[in-house]
Amino acid sequence: MDESQLIASAQNGDLSAFNRLVLQHQGVAYNVAYRIMGDPDRAADATQDAFIKAYKALSRFRGKHFKPWLLRIVTNTCYDYLRAAKRKPASSLDDDQFNKEHTLRLHDPGEGPEKRLERQELNHVIQQSIYRLSDDHRAVIVLVDIQGLSYEDAAQVLDISLGTVKSRISRARAHLRTILQDYQELLPERYRLSHRGHTPSAHP
């Protein structure tokens, strides 16, 4: 049964069909939530809430592309969590807030312990840096540069214009490059500032 058939069955009340949709998309949904929120436990909660919302709203789904529709719900749920957190007393963003073992499944079984540790540390630094972006910039970086969505799909997920996506991603990349220069010793050479102080053109 392909995705469109699963959606149709789920819309007709087939819970097992919806569970199969969850299994297909829970990885990317969680990764988006984690990268936006920076906390594995809250990301798991937001992902679960998003799937509950998706199930309740599934009868209104009329599109052909389920993933952008779902990620829009995930992103909006993360925004709700972040707004709620801002209304609570602020807590420091210390290293314990981030899960260093979360590596987006980019594990190379052939890498040695030293390389694995370096990769985990770089991943941790990138996540900390992403979390220093504004909510809007963080979301577009996560969707386009980490999850690989097209600008058009990102615009659909975020419910903004294509031009706004392009503007936000340009500013977000520039800000992220600046932040990451504090960790030049961990960055690949092409992402570091040159000896003349020029910012590299490539984005992380």
Q: Minimum mean pLDDT among 25-29, 96-100, 154-158, 190-194: which range?
A: 96-100
Q: What is the pLDDT of residue 123?
A: 79
pLDDT of 14 > 70? The answer is yes
Report the CATH number of the 92-204 domain.
1.10.10.10
Question: Do residues 82 and 135 make contact, with C-beta atoms less than 8 angstroms apart?
Answer: yes
pLDDT of 171 > 90? The answer is yes
Question: Do residues 142 and 35 make contact, with C-beta atoms less than 8 angstroms apart?
Answer: yes
- Output 119 or 66, whichever has higher pLDDT: 66
Q: What is the pLDDT of residue 98?
A: 45
Neighbours of 22 (CB within 10 A): 17
- Output 113 or 15, whichever has higher pLDDT: 15
Residue whose entry in the numeric block shows the structure tokens 């963003």: 93
| Separation of alpha carbons 63 and 48, rounded Å | 22
Question: Do residues 103 and 120 make contact, with C-beta atoms less than 8 angstroms apart?
Answer: yes
Q: What is the pLDDT of residue 115?
A: 72
Q: Classify domain 1-90 by CATH architecture.
A: Orthogonal Bundle (1.10)
Q: What is the pLDDT of residue 102?
A: 45
Domain ranges of the chain: 1-90, 92-204
pLDDT of 73 > 70? The answer is yes
Element of type H or E holding 131? helix 113-131
94: tokens are: 């210390």
Question: Do residues 60 and 73 make contact, with C-beta atoms less than 8 angstroms apart?
Answer: no
Question: Do residues 142 and 130 make contact, with C-beta atoms less than 8 angstroms apart?
Answer: yes
Per the document, the length of the chain is 204
Q: What is the pLDDT of residue 74?
A: 97
Pick from 100, 106, 124: nearest CA to 183? 124
Over range 60-73, report the average pLDDT: 90
pLDDT per position as a tens digit, 89-120 = 544 444 444 444 444 444 445 656 777 777 67
Sorting pLDDT into bands at 50, 70 and 90, what band is 87? confident
Sorting pLDDT into bands at 50, 70 and 90, what band is 6? very high
Residue whose entry in the numeric block shows the structure tokens 């600008």: 151
Over range 195-200, report the average pLDDT: 45
Question: Do residues 136 and 155 make contact, with C-beta atoms less than 8 angstroms apart?
Answer: no
The proportion of the chain whose per-residue pLDDT surpasses 90, expressed as a percent, equals 57
